Structure 1
Protein backbone atom coordinates (compact mmCIF):
# COMPACT_ATOMS: atom_id res chain seq x y z
CA UNK A 1 0.00 0.00 0.00
CA UNK A 2 1.36 3.41 -0.96
CA UNK A 3 1.90 5.93 1.80
CA UNK A 4 -0.48 8.84 1.44
CA UNK A 5 1.26 12.17 1.25
CA UNK A 6 0.23 14.55 4.05
CA UNK A 7 -2.30 17.19 3.05
CA UNK A 8 -0.29 19.89 4.78
CA UNK A 9 1.10 20.94 8.11
CA UNK A 10 0.10 22.84 11.17
CA UNK A 11 2.66 24.89 13.09
CA UNK A 12 1.87 25.94 16.65
CA UNK A 13 4.24 28.55 18.09
CA UNK A 14 4.08 29.35 21.81
CA UNK A 15 6.01 32.47 22.84
CA UNK A 16 6.73 33.48 26.44
CA UNK A 17 8.30 36.57 27.96
CA UNK A 18 7.01 38.81 25.18
CA UNK A 19 7.25 42.61 25.10
CA UNK A 20 4.01 43.69 26.79
CA UNK A 21 3.54 46.68 24.47
CA UNK A 22 3.45 44.31 21.47
CA UNK A 23 0.58 42.39 23.10
CA UNK A 24 -1.72 45.37 23.65
CA UNK A 25 -1.54 46.95 20.19
CA UNK A 26 -4.23 45.92 17.69
CA UNK A 27 -2.31 47.73 14.94
CA UNK A 28 0.87 45.88 15.87
CA UNK A 29 -0.95 42.55 15.84
CA UNK A 30 -2.34 43.23 12.38
CA UNK A 31 1.14 44.25 11.17
CA UNK A 32 2.58 40.99 12.57
CA UNK A 33 -0.01 38.89 10.71
CA UNK A 34 0.57 40.70 7.41
CA UNK A 35 4.33 40.28 7.77
CA UNK A 36 4.32 36.62 8.88
CA UNK A 37 2.15 35.73 5.86
CA UNK A 38 4.89 37.21 3.67
CA UNK A 39 7.68 35.49 5.64
CA UNK A 40 6.15 32.05 4.98
CA UNK A 41 5.52 32.92 1.32
CA UNK A 42 1.74 32.75 1.47
CA UNK A 43 -0.98 34.91 -0.08
CA UNK A 44 -3.58 36.58 2.15
CA UNK A 45 -7.25 36.31 1.21
CA UNK A 46 -9.35 39.22 2.38
CA UNK A 47 -8.73 41.34 5.42
CA UNK A 48 -7.03 40.39 8.66
CA UNK A 49 -9.58 40.30 11.47
CA UNK A 50 -8.44 41.60 14.86
CA UNK A 51 -10.80 41.47 17.82
CA UNK A 52 -10.50 42.06 21.55
CA UNK A 53 -12.71 39.91 23.77
CA UNK A 54 -12.81 37.78 26.90
CA UNK A 55 -13.11 38.67 30.56
CA UNK A 56 -10.65 39.17 33.38
CA UNK A 57 -7.30 37.47 32.85
CA UNK A 58 -8.57 35.97 29.58
CA UNK A 59 -9.30 39.32 27.91
CA UNK A 60 -7.02 40.12 25.00
CA UNK A 61 -6.53 40.41 21.27
CA UNK A 62 -6.88 37.66 18.70
CA UNK A 63 -6.36 37.76 14.95
CA UNK A 64 -7.47 35.61 12.03
CA UNK A 65 -6.18 35.76 8.47
CA UNK A 66 -7.34 33.45 5.72
CA UNK A 67 -4.61 32.55 3.25
CA UNK A 68 -4.96 30.87 -0.15
CA UNK A 69 -3.90 27.60 1.43
CA UNK A 70 -5.70 27.83 4.82
CA UNK A 71 -5.21 30.23 7.76
CA UNK A 72 -3.09 32.05 10.32
CA UNK A 73 -4.48 32.68 13.82
CA UNK A 74 -2.93 34.50 16.77
CA UNK A 75 -4.04 34.80 20.39
CA UNK A 76 -2.31 37.17 22.81
CA UNK A 77 -2.08 36.81 26.60
CA UNK A 78 -1.44 40.25 28.12
CA UNK A 79 -1.39 38.97 31.70
CA UNK A 80 1.21 36.26 31.11
CA UNK A 81 3.05 38.14 28.32
CA UNK A 82 2.58 35.22 25.93
CA UNK A 83 1.58 34.82 22.28
CA UNK A 84 0.10 31.76 20.59
CA UNK A 85 0.42 31.53 16.81
CA UNK A 86 -1.03 28.83 14.54
CA UNK A 87 -0.24 28.47 10.85
CA UNK A 88 -2.11 25.79 8.90
CA UNK A 89 -1.34 25.31 5.22
CA UNK A 90 -1.56 22.68 2.51
CA UNK A 91 1.40 24.46 0.87
CA UNK A 92 4.74 23.70 2.48
CA UNK A 93 6.44 26.54 4.34
CA UNK A 94 9.59 27.15 6.35
CA UNK A 95 8.57 26.64 9.98
CA UNK A 96 11.95 27.88 11.22
CA UNK A 97 11.48 31.22 9.45
CA UNK A 98 8.02 31.60 10.97
CA UNK A 99 9.33 30.75 14.44
CA UNK A 100 12.33 33.10 14.27
CA UNK A 101 10.27 35.97 12.86
CA UNK A 102 7.61 35.52 15.55
CA UNK A 103 10.16 35.39 18.36
CA UNK A 104 11.89 38.51 17.08
CA UNK A 105 8.68 40.45 16.41
CA UNK A 106 7.24 39.88 19.88
CA UNK A 107 10.71 40.10 21.52
CA UNK A 108 10.02 36.78 23.25
CA UNK A 109 12.39 35.33 25.82
CA UNK A 110 11.48 31.76 24.88
CA UNK A 111 9.75 29.85 22.12
CA UNK A 112 8.30 26.37 21.81
CA UNK A 113 7.00 25.08 18.49
CA UNK A 114 5.12 21.98 17.44
CA UNK A 115 4.61 20.77 13.88
CA UNK A 116 1.84 18.34 13.03
CA UNK A 117 1.50 16.79 9.58
CA UNK A 118 -2.15 16.94 8.57
CA UNK A 119 -4.04 14.41 6.51
Structure 2
Protein backbone atom coordinates (compact mmCIF):
# COMPACT_ATOMS: atom_id res chain seq x y z
CA UNK A 1 0.00 0.00 0.00
CA UNK A 2 1.38 3.38 -0.91
CA UNK A 3 2.08 5.77 1.94
CA UNK A 4 -0.22 8.44 0.50
CA UNK A 5 -3.20 6.06 0.32
CA UNK A 6 -2.49 4.80 3.83
CA UNK A 7 -2.35 8.33 5.26
CA UNK A 8 -5.58 9.34 3.51
CA UNK A 9 -7.33 6.21 4.82
CA UNK A 10 -6.01 6.72 8.34
CA UNK A 11 -7.07 10.36 8.46
CA UNK A 12 -10.55 9.50 7.16
CA UNK A 13 -10.87 6.76 9.78
CA UNK A 14 -9.84 9.14 12.56
CA UNK A 15 -12.20 11.83 11.32
CA UNK A 16 -15.13 9.41 11.11
CA UNK A 17 -14.28 8.03 14.55
CA UNK A 18 -14.28 11.54 15.99
CA UNK A 19 -17.61 12.34 14.36
CA UNK A 20 -19.12 9.13 15.73
CA UNK A 21 -17.81 9.84 19.22
CA UNK A 22 -19.25 13.36 19.10
CA UNK A 23 -22.67 11.97 18.12
CA UNK A 24 -22.60 9.39 20.94
CA UNK A 25 -21.57 12.01 23.48
CA UNK A 26 -24.29 14.39 22.27
CA UNK A 27 -26.89 11.61 22.56
CA UNK A 28 -25.65 10.67 26.03
CA UNK A 29 -25.83 14.31 27.09
CA UNK A 30 -29.48 14.41 25.98
CA UNK A 31 -30.23 11.40 28.19
CA UNK A 32 -31.27 9.15 25.28
CA UNK A 33 -30.07 5.57 25.09
CA UNK A 34 -27.54 5.14 22.28
CA UNK A 35 -27.08 1.74 20.69
CA UNK A 36 -23.84 0.08 21.78
CA UNK A 37 -22.53 -2.81 19.71
CA UNK A 38 -21.91 -6.20 21.32
CA UNK A 39 -22.08 -9.74 19.97
CA UNK A 40 -25.27 -10.38 21.96
CA UNK A 41 -26.98 -7.25 20.57
CA UNK A 42 -25.79 -7.99 17.04
CA UNK A 43 -27.28 -11.51 17.27
CA UNK A 44 -30.73 -9.96 17.79
CA UNK A 45 -30.39 -8.09 14.46
CA UNK A 46 -29.64 -11.11 12.24
CA UNK A 47 -32.06 -11.25 9.30
CA UNK A 48 -32.97 -7.57 9.56
CA UNK A 49 -32.62 -5.02 6.76
CA UNK A 50 -30.21 -2.08 6.80
CA UNK A 51 -29.54 0.68 4.28
CA UNK A 52 -25.98 1.20 3.14
CA UNK A 53 -25.50 4.77 1.93
CA UNK A 54 -23.05 4.47 -0.95
CA UNK A 55 -21.49 7.76 -2.08
CA UNK A 56 -21.90 6.91 -5.79
CA UNK A 57 -24.74 4.37 -5.95
CA UNK A 58 -27.01 5.89 -3.32
CA UNK A 59 -28.97 3.83 -0.79
CA UNK A 60 -28.56 0.05 -1.08
CA UNK A 61 -30.59 -2.51 0.84
CA UNK A 62 -28.45 -5.01 2.75
CA UNK A 63 -29.38 -7.72 5.24
CA UNK A 64 -27.40 -8.77 8.30
CA UNK A 65 -26.89 -12.42 7.36
CA UNK A 66 -24.75 -13.63 10.26
CA UNK A 67 -22.74 -12.74 13.33
CA UNK A 68 -19.55 -14.79 13.50
CA UNK A 69 -17.34 -15.32 16.55
CA UNK A 70 -13.72 -16.51 16.55
CA UNK A 71 -12.99 -20.14 17.45
CA UNK A 72 -10.97 -19.08 20.50
CA UNK A 73 -12.72 -16.54 22.71
CA UNK A 74 -10.74 -14.19 24.92
CA UNK A 75 -12.53 -13.53 28.24
CA UNK A 76 -11.42 -9.87 28.15
CA UNK A 77 -12.65 -9.16 24.62
CA UNK A 78 -15.94 -9.27 22.78
CA UNK A 79 -14.84 -10.21 19.26
CA UNK A 80 -17.23 -10.80 16.38
CA UNK A 81 -17.83 -10.11 12.71
CA UNK A 82 -21.02 -8.88 11.08
CA UNK A 83 -21.70 -10.39 7.67
CA UNK A 84 -24.04 -8.40 5.43
CA UNK A 85 -25.55 -9.63 2.13
CA UNK A 86 -26.71 -7.53 -0.82
CA UNK A 87 -28.45 -8.66 -4.00
CA UNK A 88 -26.53 -8.35 -7.24
CA UNK A 89 -22.93 -7.22 -7.43
CA UNK A 90 -22.82 -3.76 -5.86
CA UNK A 91 -19.57 -1.83 -6.14
CA UNK A 92 -18.52 -1.58 -2.51
CA UNK A 93 -14.83 -1.24 -1.74
CA UNK A 94 -13.08 -1.50 1.61
CA UNK A 95 -14.07 1.62 3.53
CA UNK A 96 -16.35 3.42 5.97
CA UNK A 97 -20.02 3.76 5.04
CA UNK A 98 -23.02 5.37 6.66
CA UNK A 99 -25.64 2.76 7.52
CA UNK A 100 -29.28 3.18 8.57
CA UNK A 101 -31.49 0.87 10.59
CA UNK A 102 -35.03 1.64 11.83
CA UNK A 103 -34.24 0.92 15.50
CA UNK A 104 -30.56 1.94 15.69
CA UNK A 105 -30.66 4.99 13.45
CA UNK A 106 -27.68 6.18 11.41
CA UNK A 107 -24.15 5.00 12.19
CA UNK A 108 -20.80 4.63 10.42
CA UNK A 109 -19.40 1.16 9.82
CA UNK A 110 -16.18 -0.06 8.20
CA UNK A 111 -17.02 -2.71 5.59
CA UNK A 112 -14.72 -5.09 3.76
CA UNK A 113 -15.88 -7.02 0.67
CA UNK A 114 -16.15 -10.74 1.55
CA UNK A 115 -17.01 -12.26 -1.83
CA UNK A 116 -19.64 -12.56 -4.52
CA UNK A 117 -21.66 -15.65 -5.42
CA UNK A 118 -24.89 -16.47 -7.29
CA UNK A 119 -26.96 -14.97 -4.43
CA UNK A 120 -25.16 -11.61 -4.36
CA UNK A 121 -22.31 -9.92 -2.53
CA UNK A 122 -21.12 -10.25 1.08
CA UNK A 123 -19.50 -7.59 3.25
CA UNK A 124 -17.85 -8.02 6.63
CA UNK A 125 -17.33 -5.67 9.57
CA UNK A 126 -15.03 -6.84 12.38
CA UNK A 127 -15.31 -5.79 16.03
CA UNK A 128 -12.92 -6.20 18.95
CA UNK A 129 -14.37 -4.63 22.09
CA UNK A 130 -12.98 -4.58 25.62
CA UNK A 131 -15.29 -6.19 28.17
Classify the TM-score, shorter chain.
0.3 to 0.5
- The structure that has the greater radius of gyration is 2
TM-score, structure 2 as length reference: 0.32
Q: Which structure ranks higher in relative contact order (CA pairs < 8 Å, sequence separation ≥ 6)?
A: 1
